[in-house]
Every structure is written in C-alpha cells, then in structure tokens.
Amino acid sequence: GYNLIIFFIISHLMSILGKLNPWNPSIPYEILSLNISSKLSTNSHAIKESSKDFGKIIQEILPAAVLYPSCVNDIIDLIQFSHDHSVPFHVAAKGHGHSIRGQAMAKNGVIVEMSSLNNNNNENCGVRVSWDLGLGFYADVGGEQLWIDVLRSTIEYGLAPVSWTDYLYLTVGGTLSNAGISGQTFRYGPQISNVHEMDVITGKGELVTCSKDMNSELFFGVLGGLGQFGIITRARIVLDKAPTRVKWVRMLYDDFSKFTKDQEHLISIHHNGLDYVEGSLMMEQSSLNNWRSSFFSPSNQTEIASLLSKNKIMYCLEIVKYYDDQNANTIDEELKQLVKGLKYLGGFMFKKDVSFVEFLNRVRSGELELQSKGKWDVPHPWLNLFVPKSSIMHFHAAVFVDIILRQNKTTGPILVYPTSRKRWDDRMSTVIPEEETFYCVGLLHSSSGYKECKILDNQNEEILNYCDKVGLNIKQYLPHYKTKEDWIKHFGKKWNIFQQRKDLFDPKMILSPGQRIFN
Ligand code: FAD
C-alpha cells in the first residue's frame, strides 16, 4: 500500500522533471510491493541503454523497466511475479548485449541486466575453480560472467576452459544460449559441449540445478536454447591445464578446393594434432589486417596485396598449436610435420609466437582501435551459417564468387572453417547440418550507416534465398527469422521437442521474446 502511494508521488514528480518514463501499463503496479522494487528502473536513460545491442539494426524495442539484480533471488522474484500474474509480461536476460538482431530485447517487458550480478555481495556468482575425482578440474561460473574474466580467473591456477569464441567479451549465459564456436570446436566441441551442470531459473520462476543426469530435459534444452527455457545463473565449465604459449600460423591459398581439403585434413588428425583451425577469405577490397587480429607486417601486406590484385579472391588458413616449457624444444618440429604436404602457395606462410592469453584475446586490440575511431558502434548486418561439407564448393562458387565478389560489397572479415558433428550432442537445442563435417561461415559485416546496412542485409537475404532455392541444406547460426513457419523449418525434426520444452519450462512464454520464436 505505502509503496504504491510513494511510487505514484515520485513517479508524478519525476515525469514532470522528465527523468522517468510514464508507468508502462504492461507491468502491473503491484510489482512495486516486491523487495526488488528498488532495483527496478524506469529511467528513460536506463530503458534506452538496455534496448541497444551490437547489431544496431533493431531499434526502439523499448522495455517497460530494467532490473539490476544483486542476487539470483531477485530474478526469481521477478519471473515468479510475471508467471503468477493474470497477464504475464516478458522478461529477457541481457548478457553483454552482443546480439545482432534484438535477441536480448523485450518490448514492454523487463530487461534483466545480468552484469549487475557481478558484485562482491553475490556469493552465487563469480568464478570458482574446483577439482573432483569424477570431473577433474572445473569452474563454477556465473551466467553473467564474461569469458575474458573466466580466462583471467582460471589462468591463475594454470587452468583454462578448452572451448572458446573468437571474442571474449561475451557472457557465459549468452554464448551457451547459442553454442559458442571457434577454431577449437573441431577438437573440443562447442562451448555447450563443455558444461557439466547449470543452475537455471525457468519461466515458472523455479531455480533448478540440471545436468546430463539430473533434470536433463532442461539441461539439454537450455544449451543452445536461445534463452527460451530459463536464465542460466551458474554453469560448471570443463577446465584443462592451460598452455603458456602458442605457435600461430597463417598460410595463403589461391584455390578454394585445396584450401578446404587441407582444412579438412588438419581437423582429422587426432593424435597430437592442432588446437585451433580456422580460415578466412581475402579480397582486394577487404583489409588484410582487420579487427579480428592484426597479423601481417607492412611488408607482408604489400606482398599479399600484389598477389590479390592478380587473384581477386584468396584464402587464408589459420592454425594454432599450443605449447609450454615441456615441449618448447620440439614444437617447431611438431608443427613442421603437421603442415607437411599442405598445398598453400610457396613462400606464403606467416608465423607468430605469442602467449596463450594474447592469442585467445586477439580480437580485443582491434576492437579498441575501431572504438577509438568510432567504427565499432555501427550497424552490423552479420550472417552466420553452417554449411554442409557436400555444399561448400557450390556455396563458394555461388555465394563467395557470384554474389559477394561480383557485388563488391564486403565490409568485414569472412570466416570459413570446418568442424565435426562428432563433438556436438544432438539432444541440445542448437541446430546443425546432418553431415559429419560442416563449415562455419561468418559474414561479419560492419556498415557505415543504415543505408549501407540495408544493402548488405539485402545481400544476406539473397544468399539465404539462393541456398534455399537450390537446397544447399545450410543452417543459420545465431538464427533469426520473421515467421513461425521459418522457425519450424529451421528446427526441423527438433521443433517438436523445442516446443514441448517451452510448454514445460516457460508455459506462459515469458522469456527472451526478442528471439521472436513464440511471440
Ligand atoms: P546477449 O546478446 O546479451 O543475449 C543473447 C541471448 O541470450 C538473448 O536471447 C538473451 O536473452 C539470452 N541470454 C543472455 N544471458 C542469458 C542467460 N544468462 N541465460 C539464458 N539466456 C541468456 N559467437 C560464437 O559462437 N563464436 C564467436 O567467435 C563469436 N564472436 C563474436 C564476436 C563479436 C564481436 C560479437 C558481437 C558476437 C560474437 N559471437 C560469437 C556471437 C555471440 O556468441 C552471441 O551473440 C552471444 O549471444 C552474445 O553474448 P551476450 O552475452 O552479448 O548475449
């Protein structure tokens, strides 16, 4: 009662001062009688900030309020309140907001700023390293943690997670809701394959601990589940001994078939093989050192540029082998054996020797440079795809050459690297192609403004339509669709189970509406 009266008075005064948005009727006033009321904000700055993401494509999807939780119970209270109300409202966890198309937004709902769990009072979160006989080393990590912080904390013990993303300023909850892929995936599986256990707050507001053996339906649903079944507040992540240094090598190819054959060969070496295999396209118009990492020296760049002016399109294979003091004397020979017989262009192999942390955090310096030039905070019409091995030559000819090279519109790195289905668990929600080997393709465009963004997005649409028309059986990674039919098609035989899990864990369809699957 009191709270409500005080709220009305403050709200009235604040809206006169222009600091508070008028109360959004989608959220019942009774929420102000909960303990979390002091952690809810309807301040227009907070509302605006929480509805931004890295993509900068979706705008003006404003929530009614933002919750800054200081502990897991705050999120439970919020979701329970929505679930139990006659007209539930949407709730979206926002990790680091690095989605492309508003996936962490919630129109007229409540955004949960997960980063505010990262405080010293919160005993559930942070990063805690442990060991036990059954699991070996592992870390219990708050869902709000950034992977860079997981790395910094675990490396103090000489340990580290085994599966990564290229960029580390993403949250554990955010990447586990998709898959978490990089050049390590062929060997260790995606990040979702390296989780022992999680604490999840379901759409009913229940806090559930789940693993392969305990509440397994929730466990498998949440991994790659696009935030649809619950909010991850803790994940138990597999750790291994961390190497101290890496040999980092790039080789150039002028022939896509040779390039992909070599990639496929490299990921098939099981005994003492590589730790990371990726690759990218090089085109005359794309800069050789992009934000993903500056690798080539100025003289290398001149050499490569003259080659590119002849070839128009080339391919850069990128590999890494970890090492430490124990094999420092033999690592060069090991690497020599691994690259023996590869068909890159003679003389076009470039090497670096850097610390493990520097390698894993390689994207950060490029990000800071772009930020300083005001080029990071721009629209990013990215398209990420999984392409089956049997389609990759066709995809190359039709998409890379006929669409992208011909239209001359690339404005960012284009990644192409194979991975193996073996390390994925089909019970998890992420959808991948049926074939044993498939390629991860990332068109990581940055645009100078909305006009260019639209042009690139039309190109993305053209690519998707083409692949669909000729039946290349690709799947979108970080998927986005406009209609339910498209989602059903995306999930294919996994749709029924996805829907059943939604009914089970979020029956009122409260969570992550920005994915636009059920809303
Ligand atoms: P957000 O954008 O905040 O959220 C994403 C979705 O997850 C939303 O639906 C949200 O509601 C939900 N969510 C957030 N937190 C939780 C939680 N705790 N529990 C349940 N649901 C939650 N991906 C890769 O796999 N490999 C890469 O190498 C890679 N590199 C990237 C580089 C850059 C520069 C960027 C911008 C993205 C990259 N991504 C990569 C994609 C990235 O993994 C996803 O966009 C991821 O969702 C971003 O994490 P986030 O913390 O910013 O999530």
Is there an atom of ligand 1 within 6 Å of 125 CB?
Answer: no
Find the CATH number of the domain harbouring 468. Answer: 3.40.462.10
**484-491 and 495-505 are packed helices; what angle lies between their axes, rounded to 10 degrees?**
110
Q: Give the whole-angstrom CA distance, residue 185 versus residue 179.
A: 10
Q: What pLDDT was estimated at residue 295?
A: 82
Q: Give the whole-angstrom CA distance, residue 442 versus residue 280.
A: 9
Is there an atom of ligand 1 within 6 Å of 99 CB?
Answer: yes
Co-location of 226 and 249 in the same domain: no
Q: Give the nearest ligand 1 atom to 178 CA.
A: 47
Question: With bands split at pLDDT 50, 70 and 90, how would you rate the model's confidence at 63?
Answer: very high
Calculate how far, in angstroms, residue 478's C-alpha sits from the geometric centre of ligand 1. 8
| Higher-scoring residue by pLDDT: 14, 361 | 361
Tell me which residue has its CA closest to atom 29 in ligand 1: 165
Read off the pLDDT of each residue in 124-143 and give the average, rounded to a whole number: 93
Asked whether residue 494 is domain-assigned, the answer is no
This complex has an ipTM of 0.99
Is there an atom of ligand 1 within 6 Å of 96 CB?
Answer: yes
4, HSE (Cβ side, Cα atoms, 13 Å): 6
Co-location of 260 and 232 in the same domain: no
**HEC string for 394-449:** HHHHHHHHHHHHHHCCCCCCEEEEEEEHHHCCCCCCCCCCCCCEEEEEEECCCCCC
Q: What pLDDT was estimated at residue 409?
A: 77
User: What are the tokens at 335?
Assistant: 């690497």
Read off the pLDDT of each residue in 346-350 and give the average, rounded to a whole number: 94
Q: Which of 56, 57, 99, 290 has most ligand 1 atoms within 8 Å of CB, for mutation?
A: 99
Co-location of 249 and 358 in the same domain: yes
Name the domain boundary from 117, 152, 181: 117
**HEC string for 20-37:** ECCCCCCCCHHHHHCHHH
Q: What pLDDT was estimated at residue 133?
A: 95
Tell me which residue has its CA closest to atom 20 in ligand 1: 231
Is there an atom of ligand 1 within 6 Å of 104 CB?
Answer: yes
Calculate how far, in angstroms, residue 197's C-alpha sits from the geometric centre of ligand 1. 19
Q: What pLDDT was estimated at residue 284?
A: 76
Co-location of 140 and 68 in the same domain: no
Q: What pLDDT was estimated at residue 3?
A: 61
Q: Give the nearest ligand 1 atom to 233 CA.
A: 18
Read off the pLDDT of each residue in 68-89 and give the average, rounded to a whole number: 97
Co-location of 304 and 397 in the same domain: yes
Co-location of 313 and 455 in the same domain: yes
Read off the pLDDT of each residue in 191-216 and give the average, rounded to a whole number: 98
Q: Which helix (H) or strand (E) holds 140?
A: strand 136-142
Read off the pLDDT of each residue in 38-46 and give the average, rounded to a whole number: 95
Asked whether residue 490 is domain-assigned, the answer is no
Asked whether residue 206 is domain-assigned, the answer is yes
Question: With bands split at pLDDT 50, 70 and 90, how would you rate the model's confidence at 519?
Answer: confident
Report the domain count for the chain.
Answer: 3
Q: Give the pLDDT confidence of 471-499 residue by residue, as tens digits.
A: 999 999 999 999 999 999 999 999 999 99
Calculate how far, in angstroms, residue 99's C-alpha sits from the geometric centre of ligand 1. 6
User: What are the tokens at 153?
Assistant: 């904390």
Calculate how far, in angstroms, residue 488's C-alpha sits from the geometric centre of ligand 1. 22
Is there an atom of ligand 1 within 6 Å of 182 CB?
Answer: yes
Co-location of 282 and 353 in the same domain: yes
Co-location of 300 and 397 in the same domain: yes
Co-location of 41 and 152 in the same domain: no
Q: What pLDDT was estimated at residue 17?
A: 47
User: What are the tokens at 324?
Assistant: 């430490």
Calculate how far, in angstroms, residue 204's C-alpha sits from the geometric centre of ligand 1. 23
Asked whether residue 70 is domain-assigned, the answer is yes
Q: What pLDDT was estimated at residue 501?
A: 98
Question: With bands split at pLDDT 50, 70 and 90, how would you rate the model's confidence at 293?
Answer: low
Is there an atom of ligand 1 within 6 Å of 93 CB?
Answer: yes
- Please, what sign has the CA dihedral across residues 186, 188, 189, 192? negative
Q: What pLDDT was estimated at residue 480?
A: 96
**% of the chain surpassing 70 pLDDT:** 93
What's the mean pLDDT when you consider all of the chain? 93
Read off the pLDDT of each residue in 22-47 and give the average, rounded to a whole number: 92
pLDDT at 505 over 80: yes
Q: What is the side-by-side strand order in the sheet with 437-443?
A: 349-355, 245-253, 313-323, 276-283, 414-420, 437-443, 383-388, 475-477
Co-location of 113 and 131 in the same domain: no
pLDDT at 276 over 90: yes
Co-location of 354 and 365 in the same domain: yes
Domain with 96 in it: 2-117
Find the CATH number of the domain harbouring 149. Answer: 3.30.465.10
Calculate how far, in angstroms, residue 98's C-alpha sits from the geometric centre of ligand 1. 5
Find the CATH number of the domain harbouring 76. Answer: 3.30.43.10
Is there an atom of ligand 1 within 6 Å of 79 CB?
Answer: no
Co-location of 262 and 297 in the same domain: yes
Active site (catalytic) residues: 98, 166, 278
Is there an atom of ligand 1 within 6 Å of 331 CB?
Answer: no
Lowest-pLDDT choice from 128-137, 217-226, 250-259, 296-305:
296-305
Asked whether residue 489 is domain-assigned, the answer is no
Is there an atom of ligand 1 within 6 Å of 122 CB?
Answer: no
Q: What pLDDT was estimated at residue 12?
A: 56
Q: Give the pLDDT confidence of 419-478 residue by residue, as tens digits.
A: 999 999 999 999 999 999 999 999 999 998 899 999 999 999 999 999 999 999 999 999
Read off the pLDDT of each residue in 492-509 and give the average, rounded to a whole number: 98
Tell me which residue has its CA closest to atom 16 in ligand 1: 173
Backbone φ/ψ region at 445: left (φ over 0), alpha (ψ -120 to 50), beta: beta
**% of the chain surpassing 90 pLDDT:** 83
Question: With bands split at pLDDT 50, 70 and 90, how would you rate the model's confidence at 298?
Answer: confident
Tell me which residue has its CA closest to atom 32 in ligand 1: 167
Is there an atom of ligand 1 within 6 Å of 95 CB?
Answer: yes
